[in-house]
Structure formats: structure tokens, C-alpha cells
Amino acid sequence: MNMKKTKVLYQHGTLALLVPGLFAGTETLGKLLEHGDTGIGTLDGLNGELIILDGKVYQVNATGKVNRIKKREKVPFANVHYQKDQFIDKIGPLKDEKLRSAILDKLPSQNLFYAVRMTGEFANVKTRAVAQQKEPYPTLKQTADAQKVFEKAHVKGTLIGYYAPQLYGGVAVPGFHLHFLSKDHSFGGHVLKVDSVATKLYLQEFAQLDLHLPAKNKAFRKQKPSKDILKDIASAEN
């Protein structure tokens, strides 16, 4: 691992490609992990929510079960980085919206990408996990409407994800994109809501985005761009 690489956020695919339903996996986890040891994503066919910690890949599937995933599995969309984050602050009890604005206030700049990691005790964690789709794939909105939602009143674990400046909306999820994995690996997913109880916030700032596109995927190559990409994303991601 190159020291400089801790300043690079790697992304395979774009959020925009998921919107019309380009869910086919186009990069193996093995290849993805050559660019980082920490991150989030989804599997081929939009099969669940990925949490990558310490080089290990966990999937929360549509039944809420947490699985370890082999490196030969493929992703249509994922972000990874080499974790070298900095402890920012202890965060006490804050409700979802106030927690998000507290993290936003701690960002040294809103014009750069950040990895956001929080550990500790959380409350009222509401996650979702998308279910594996079969071809012909539906749209992201249709898939999200059929997602499974999971809730936990009190849980220890790790919140992991990214902040992307609004400018990159469509390339990435604008603002925060957070996944959760409980300490006992029994619960997690794409975070819809979360309150902090007693947590620590860590941030890692990136000076570079390496965006890898699935140039060999025929469906991606010929997909007509969506007109209302940001609207479609907002309705599918929140």
C-alpha cells in the first residue's frame, strides 16, 4: 500500500448507472480491494448492502442476515479507500437530523470528499437492504420501493460511509451515504435513520477521486442518460 493512497477515494461505477437499472456486477471484490480496505457498495443484481471493514466484506441481504462475501463476487457500484482516518470528537445523544448536521459541521471543507466512520452506541437505527434483482432489471426506484426495512432500538456498531460535495450528485450520492454494521454482525444495511447515543466520529479527507467506469459493459455503454437523475436518486436513496 502506497502512503499517498490514503488521500484517494476509489469508486467503481456511478450512482447514475443504477437509476435506470444497470445492476450487473462489473468489477470483482478482489479487484476493488486492490484500491482500499474500507468502504461500501452493493453486489451483482443489487444484491444487498455491502460494508467493507479492515479488508473484510460483509453483506446485509434482503432478509437482514449478515454474510461474509468472497472476493470473486462482483459489484456494479462501490467505494473503497485505505483507512487512515482521524478521531474528530466524541458525539453524545443526537437525533438523526441533528447528528447529520453535527457531522456536517465537523467537515473541514464541504468541497472535498470524506470518509465518515462512527463507532459506539446507536439508537433507533433504521436500515434498508435491497434484494437481488433478475434480468431484465427494474429501475432503482422500483427496487427501492420493494426494499426490506430493519430497525433496532439500541445497538453497538460502526457507521461507515462517505460525504460527497453536491457537485458530484449523480456520480455519487450527494451529501452523506452511510451504511451500518452492528458489532456482533447480526444487523446492518443502508442507513435510513440513526441516532447517536455515545459515539466517536472519525473523518478522512481525500484529495483525489479515482472514478473507474465499466467501459466493457455493453448495457452501460449504450444507456441513454436520465433527464432527472438527481430527483430519481433522491427518491431511491432516502
Contact positions vs a second copy (CB under 8 A): 7, 14, 16-17, 108-113, 165-168, 170-171, 205-213, 215-216, 220-223, 225, 229
Instruction: Tell the smallest beta-carbon distance from residue 34 to a second copy (Å).
Output: 12
Contact 121, 198 (CB under 8 A): yes
Nearer to a second copy, 187 or 206 (CB): 206
Distance (Å) of CA 126 to CA 114, 162, 192: 23, 18, 5
Contact 84, 42 (CB under 8 A): no
Q: What angle do CA 74, 80, 83 make, to 5 degrees?
A: 140
Instruction: Tell the smallest beta-carbon distance from residue 229 to a second copy (Å).
Output: 7
Instruction: Tell the smallest beta-carbon distance from residue 224 to a second copy (Å).
Output: 8
Could you tell me the sign of the dihedral formed by the alpha carbons of 213, 216, 220, 225, in that order?
positive
Q: Report DSSP state, residue 172.
A: B
Nearer to a second copy, 180 or 206 (CB): 206
Task: For residue 169, give the 3-state DSSP assignment.
Answer: strand
Task: For residue 199, give the 3-state DSSP assignment.
Answer: strand
Which of 206, 181, 197 minimizes the C-alpha distance to 93?
Answer: 197
Instruction: Tell the smallest beta-carbon distance from residue 122 to a second copy (Å).
Output: 30
Nearer to a second copy, 123 or 213 (CB): 213
Nearer to a second copy, 134 or 216 (CB): 216
List the beta bridge partners of residue 60.
Answer: 49, 66
Nearer to a second copy, 155 or 233 (CB): 233
Instruction: Tell the smallest beta-carbon distance from residue 11 to a second copy (Å).
Output: 10
